[in-house]
Each structure stands twice: as C-alpha cells, then as structure tokens.
Amino acid sequence: MSDSFQASVARSAALEKRLADEPASLRMLTGDRPTGALHIGHYFGSIRNRVRLQQAGAEIWQLIADYQVITDRESVGAIRDNVRNLVLDNVAAGLDPERVTMFTHSAVPALNQLMLPFLSLVSVAELQRNPTVKDEAKAAGITSISGLLLTYPVHQAADILFCKANVVPVGRDQLPHLEQTRVIARRFNERYGATFPEPDALLSDAPLILGTDGTKMSKSRGNVIELRMTADETAKKIKGAKTDSDRVITYDPEGRPEVANLLTLIALCEGVAPEVVAEEIGDGGGGALKRRLTEAINDELAPLRARRAELAEDPSYVVGILERGNARANEVADDTLDEVRTRMDMVYS
Ligand code: TRP
C-alpha cells in the first residue's frame, strides 16, 4: 500500500502541473452519495477543489451516486430530497451547471451495463481485500456483506470509465477504488484493445476536518456543520463544540485535537496559518475561539447560503439541471458502450 500510495502522490503532483499547463486535456469526474446534506468537511476537502478545477478550465462531470446509497444500508432514505440538496449545494458552492454535467447513476443504463464486462476482469479475492469496503462494512455494523457492497468498486470503475475521465479528485479512502479502476482499464485494454485511459487521483491537500466534538465528522453523531445551516444554527453548533479548560489557545494537533480542529477551520476560512490565529486569540479562551470561528464560517458561507436559498425557490431548477446532465451522460455512455460491444465483437447487425 505505501509504495502505491507514494506512486499516487507522485501522479497527483504531476496532475497539478498539467492543470496549470494544459487544463483542457483534463476531464474530471467526482461522485457524492446522496445520503445527506453536504457539510464543511466536504466543502474544504473537495468542493473547493472542484470549483478550482472548473475555473482552471478542466471539463467537469459530477455524479450523484444514487445506487451507492444502498451499498451499506437497507433503505434509500430521503433520497429525492438528498439528491436535490446535493445539486443545490454544489451549484451554490460555485459549480456552473452550464459547464458541469451533473447526473445520477439510475438514469444512465449504459453506464450500469459496463459493470458486466468489468466484473469479468476482477477476482472475488481481490474484491474481498479492498480495505475501504471492509471499513465501511465495519462502520455500518454489517456482518453479511451484500453482492453490491462487495462489487461497488467495480461499479465505481464504470462511473469513471464510461466518460473516460482522467482525473478523479478524492480523499485517501478512495484510493483503493481508483487503483481498482486502473486495473480494470488496463485488463480491458489488454484483452480487447486500447479503449480506456487509466485515471489518476488528485489528492486534496486540505487537512482532515473533525466534527465539533473532535471525532470523525458524521451526521449520525450530530457533530456536523452543514453548508445549508443558518448563521444562528451554525453559532449554536459551534457554541456546543468541545474544547478544553486551558484558557491559553495554542495550536497543538496531538495534545489538543479539538482546539486544533477549530483553529484549522478558522485558518481555512481566513486563509492564514492556524498558529497565527492561536497567537492572536492568546488567553481569550474557548469563548473567543468559538466567536471567531462562528464569524469566520458564517462570513465564508454567507454568499453560498444566499445563493442556495435563491436557487431553492424554483423547484424546476434542479430538475432541469439533472435532465440536461442525464441526457448528456446517456449520450456519452451509449457511445462508450457501443465501442465496448465493438471491441468485444458483440455487434450483430
Ligand atoms: N465512493 C464515493 C464516496 O463514498 C462516491 C463516488 C461514487 C465516487 N462514484 C464515484 C467518487 C466516482 C469518485 C469517483 O464518497
């Protein structure tokens, strides 16, 4: 893993250079699971990166991975609301629906069909080794792994390869899936002839953001600051954040992880170093730290929230974005599937 991690880091750095030199050669695809609203962890970890790539001139494909919702849970939940909220969050954050193709798995049959030949290229043992799948099963308390949970990394390869994306901005947890995608592309090309590019991960350099209680940010723990919250809701969430009893604020991620996390968030919003923020707050204690964070986040998100509220007023707006995106995704998926059938000698007309 560590060798391949090093290789991923090196390829990610090479991509940054390509983004600066020849952005039009990059086709980026990312995906979100519609299981809930986007929060500031997503915002600093990936959404700002998406907007940066868009602004640099890369082509952007944004998948709302609805079939991935049922990998680790039995019910689709409030899926219609969640899909709608994902579109609103991404657009309000700066993704331009005129330039970005936003689409859902379930509306693109040819994408899903690619899963069949791809499944023939991987072994069960290989799938069972995927560390991210194992972690997800464990986190969800799943003891009997479904066929979809085991094989969704292959489906994710179809997400990426159907449109021949060459850049996938991800966090470290997604690297096993990206490696699986590269392997599938390589094996398909070897067996049937050159068809798919091997995509590279673009690793985010944003630091890991914890929830307001200092543990992993997750909706079920109630420690999340959602993008769509009001300024008051945000203030309340931050007021309840965990700190410690030392009045002098210092940036010490090892010794004081909760305080360091709040400092990191201020630093990301204000574009300064967390150590500098700590020094400025000095002996102001947890109260001053939280006041500053509340202001920083509310300032950072105010334009996004205003825009989001405006867009949400027209229910047909999101519908239109998805209709256009799904139509475009279907065109490209149909072309790729035709190419795959031709390569596999499965054209009978
Ligand atoms: N697995 C990703 C997640 O849980 C979501 C996803 C689905 C994705 N398809 C993708 C990410 C394709 C990148 C590329 O966050």
CB of 33 closer than 6 angstroms to any ligand 1 atom:
yes
- Asked whether the beta carbons of 62 and 94 are under 8 A apart, the reply is no
CB of 181 closer than 6 angstroms to any ligand 1 atom:
no
Q: Which residue minimizes the CA distance to atom 11 of ligand 1?
A: 31
Instruction: For a ligand 1 pocket test, name from 30, 130, 151 the mutation site with the most ligand atoms within 8 angstroms of its C-beta.
Output: 30
For the chain (349 residues), the mean pLDDT of every run of 10, in chain order, is: 80 88 94 92 88 94 98 94 96 96 98 98 98 93 95 98 94 92 98 97 83 84 92 96 94 95 96 96 96 98 97 96 98 98 97
Of all atoms in ligand 1, which is nearest to the CA of residue 156?
Answer: 9
- Distance of CA 264 to CAs 34, 219, 270, Å? 27, 20, 10
CB of 343 closer than 6 angstroms to any ligand 1 atom:
no
pLDDT of residue 216: 83
User: How many angstroms separate the CA atoms of 234 and 256, rounded?
Assistant: 22
Instruction: Classify domain 3-206+315-343 at the CATH superfamily level.
Output: HUPs (3.40.50.620)
Hey, where are the domains in the chain? 3-206+315-343, 219-312
Tell me the one-letter amino acid at 334. D
CA of 301 to the centre of ligand 1 (A): 24
pLDDT of residue 266: 97
219-312 has the same fold as 3-206+315-343: no
User: How many angstroms separate the CA atoms of 96 and 78, rounded?
Assistant: 25
Q: Identify the CA nearest to 165 among candidates 153, 176, 181.
A: 181
User: How many angstroms separate the CA atoms of 86 and 136, rounded?
Assistant: 21
Q: Identify the CA nearest to 266 among candidates 223, 296, 230.
A: 296
Both tokens of 255, joined, read 């010794």
Bridge partner residues of 61 (DSSP): 29, 101
Q: From the options 3.90.1150.10, 1.10.10.10, 1.10.240.10, 3.30.1370.60, give the CATH code of 219-312.
A: 1.10.240.10
Q: Identify the CA nearest to 160 among candidates 342, 341, 333.
A: 333
User: How many angstroms separate the CA atoms of 28 and 58, rounded?
Assistant: 7
Task: Fill in the DSSP letter of residue 211.
Answer: -
Give pTM, 2 decimals: 0.92
Both tokens of 194, joined, read 């050159």
Sole residue written with tokens 């939280």: 290
Q: Identify the CA nearest to 127 among candidates 163, 156, 169.
A: 156
